[in-house]
Amino acid sequence: MVSMEAFDITKYLDMAARRIWWIIIPFLLTLLAGLTYVLITPKIYEAQTLILVQPQKVPEDFVRTIVSATVEDRLRTISQQVTSRTNLERIIKEHNLYGSADTRMLIDDKVALLRRMVQIDVSHGGRRGQEANAFTISLRGKDPKKIMEVTNALASNFISENLRIRESQAMGTSAFISDELASVEKRLMEKEEQLKQYQERYMGGLPEQLQTNLSILERLQAQLDQLHNTMRDSENRRIILQAQIAEEQRATKTELLIPSASQGVDNRPRDITSLTNELASLEARYTRNHPDVIRLREMIARLAAEMPESETDLPETGPPVSRVDQVLKRQLKDTGLQIETIKAEIKKTKSQIKWYQKKVEETPKREQELLSLKRDYGNLNELYNSLLNRKLEAEIAVSMEKKQKGEQFRVVDPAKTPGRPVAPDLRRIILLTFALGLGLGGGLAFLMETMDTSYKTPEEAEKELQLPVLVTIPIRHTETELKNIKRKKVLAFSSVAVVFVVSAVGIVIAVKGVDATLDFIKDIFARV
């Protein structure tokens, strides 16, 4: 490291004084080159517009939006559409961009250049993770007025494209839900018809009819028991009637000898009067169809037939002698018919019991099948109701988007015609030019000083010659010589300055013209 004692600034100052023109001339030439660059380089202007993401005007508690994409995602989509080749070509033609100065450029190159000049910056309100609440659209170009118009046109495209995308997405969602609702409604009706046909097919054996079937089974079983009892009674009655018929047939044969038989029984004649009294006593206890009553009536009729008509004063009698046997046979026949009827009833009741027992046995199977059908029907019905609610919400959201009550992009600061170019940066170029000019002049001066082999100081002579310097005599100028030297320096500096200014003005006039030069000088002084 060089110490402060070793660093002699006077040495470098003397070197700069000796090589002053090697520093000034490159410095001035660099300034002229920088000025030329500033004048030649086309001015780039920038126009900006600030767009605010305005939330929907209807509270989300009342109307829930169906546009689920975030602002960033929609901005990416809209940016792709706005900066598409077709849209940029239309903007280039409408605003006559690159029309005169860039006639040789292909339309694809113009589109690519315009796309590079468009920049979109999203603002999140100063909080990380928060959804974007604003964004800026900036555009750079050579013509201030045109880039202002194009920037506002792009902002308008963003706004209209956002409205179109939101409305299209809302309508697309609504149409999709409507199609799905129609499909689910068709499936629901088919499942409902299937459930209805199933219930009609297995009516009487459904799970909700189990208790009714069990009650009917219990009643049929009791009815069957009653029919069996009635059948048993009828069978007994038939046996009794068969025995009575056989007994009646034996009694008829015996009654052909009534006088002798009656005398052997009670040792008194059986006349019509006694038989009539006995008949009245039996009729008081039995019906007219009782066998004993019928037998007495027949006996009275036979006795009355044997006696003369004048001697008979008998009550009305029944049928002839064979009537008892006929009545008993008719009762036997009726009893047989009744038995057949009861058998048919028993068979019918057993068939009904078997049918209801089968229904009761199949109830668990029907319950599982019906449960599966009802579960599918319930799921479809729930899905249908859910889709119906979503369809209503989607229709409300579509109406909200059509009325532009949803989330919107609103221009807060429209683009204005820029007054100053953003490129090239004049201050930066001036600073760089000064630094480069000083560096170049200092470098050349140092190079020339290094290439000069003459001795500048006594120390250099002693070091080189290895001889001691006894005395040094500086050059002494007279007063007149000093004035001449001073006048020459002033003249030289003035000449260089004049040449520099004239060159600079000449370059400006050559590039911009007189009026533009005056404006350019005013702008330099205003900015510097």
Q: What one-character-per-residue DSSP string does 71-125 give?
A: HHHHHHHHHHHHTSHHHHHHHHHHHTTTSSTTTTS-HHHHHHHHHHHEEEEEE-T
Strand ranges across the sheet with 134-141: 118-123, 134-141, 45-54, 408-413
Stronger pLDDT, 266 or 461, i.e. the higher one:
461
Stronger pLDDT, 394 or 104, i.e. the higher one:
394
Residues 469-475 have a mean pLDDT of 73
Residues 92-119 have a mean pLDDT of 77
Amino acid at 386: S
Q: What is the pLDDT of residue 62?
A: 65
Q: What is the pLDDT of residue 186?
A: 92
Residues 49 and 82 sit within 8 Å (Cβ to Cβ): no
Query: CA 305: distance to chain centroid?
Result: 112
| 395, pLDDT greater than 70 | yes
Q: What is the pLDDT of residue 141?
A: 83
Q: What is the pLDDT of residue 60?
A: 64
Stronger pLDDT, 488 or 134, i.e. the higher one:
134
**Global pTM?**
0.52
Strand 134-141 with 45-54, pairing: antiparallel
Stronger pLDDT, 492 or 327, i.e. the higher one:
327
Least confident range from 48-52, 89-93, 127-131: namely 127-131
Residues 192 and 377 sit within 8 Å (Cβ to Cβ): yes
| 348, pLDDT greater than 80 | yes
Residues 416-442 have a mean pLDDT of 80
Residues 367-396 have a mean pLDDT of 87
Q: What is the pLDDT of residue 219?
A: 92
Amino acid at 100: S
Tell me the average pLDDT of the chain: 76
Of the candidates 202, 201, 219, the one whose C-alpha atom is nearest the C-alpha of residue 211 is 219
Q: How confident is the model over 14-25, as pLDDT tens digits? A: 777 777 778 778
Q: How confident is the model over 242-263, as pLDDT tens digits? A: 777 777 767 665 554 444 333 3
d(CA 357, CA 469): 146
Q: What is the pLDDT of residue 85?
A: 86
| 374, pLDDT greater than 80 | yes
Quickly state the pLDDT bin for 271 (edges 50, 70, 90): low
Amino acid at 319: P
Residues of the chain above pLDDT 90, percent: 5
Beta bridge mates, 123: 134
Give me the DSSP letters along 224-270: HHHHHHHHHHHHHHHHHHHHHHHHHHHHHHHHTTHHHHHHHHHSS--
